[in-house]
Amino acid sequence: MDELQFRRSIYADPKSQDEEILAAQQNDPAKKQFAKELAQLDDKIASALNVPVPEDLSNKLILRQTLASHQMHKRKKRIHLALAASVAVIAGLLINFVQFSSAYSNLGDHALAHVYHEQGYFSNNDKERVSLTSLNEKMADFNGSFSEQVGELLFADFCRFDGMRSLHLVFQGKTSPVTVFVVPKNEELAFSSKFNDTQLFGESLKFDNANVIVIGDKNEQLSTWQSTLNNTLSWSI
């Protein structure tokens, strides 16, 4: 595994247990250290985002606001305390909103953002190829498999799709790479059968086990990709 492919895989999943990734780390101390640093950074980010909220926080905020309002009527000098309490309530609501709401409400918007985020890592001229065997080893995590190779597969590894462990595939397209995501079902993300912006177009397939999303530029016949995926993908119960 070359340096570029290793870094792409580690960026996508710092704690990847893929056999090729582990072998590369075992044979190269620099790669092992790089993976360790990214895994530690991933843990720090997760820890920073995991802010515990006291069970009685809402009651305390309400009580504080009530007391501040009462004191404001009795003593006008205490008006700043009432304002501070109001700000505390708003801050609490904002923290909850940021903490528990997704940045995107549907599969299409999140898929486009994901592709643009990693757009510079992939090229239609990449020479790496992923075998059908390696692809199906990863598909086993979703109880699925491909009966045959679907085009020239340049990249296949796990990624985080709105916090869900998903599979990120990149194929050689007519003029630019075609991206395919295999994403577990999630009721919080609305299903998008078709979506697009000024540059990219996407379509989604709904299966019992997962949603499969295809994204390409205007030169791609996404319906052909959909048909091929539908005919080559099989799922175990």
Q: Are residues 134 and 179 in the same domain?
A: yes
Q: Label residue 159 left, alpha or beta by phi (over 0 means left) and psi (-120 to 50 means alpha).
A: beta
Q: Are residues 121 and 83 in the same domain?
A: no
Q: Are residues 204 and 130 in the same domain?
A: yes
Q: Are residues 145 and 228 in the same domain?
A: yes
pTM confidence score: 0.58
8 Å CB contact between 169 and 153: yes
Q: Are residues 25 and 127 in the same domain?
A: no
Q: Are residues 118 and 169 in the same domain?
A: yes
- Domain count of the chain? 3
Q: pLDDT by residue (tens digit) across 63-93?
A: 666 666 656 655 655 555 555 555 554 544 4
Q: What is the SS3 assignment for 188?
A: coil
Over 99-115, what HEC string results? HHCCCCCEHHHHHHHHH
Q: pLDDT by residue (tens digit) across 13-57?
A: 878 788 888 887 788 888 788 778 878 887 777 777 676 666 666
Q: Are residues 64 and 45 in the same domain?
A: no
Neighbours of 163 (CB within 10 A): 9
Domain residue limits at 220:
107-235
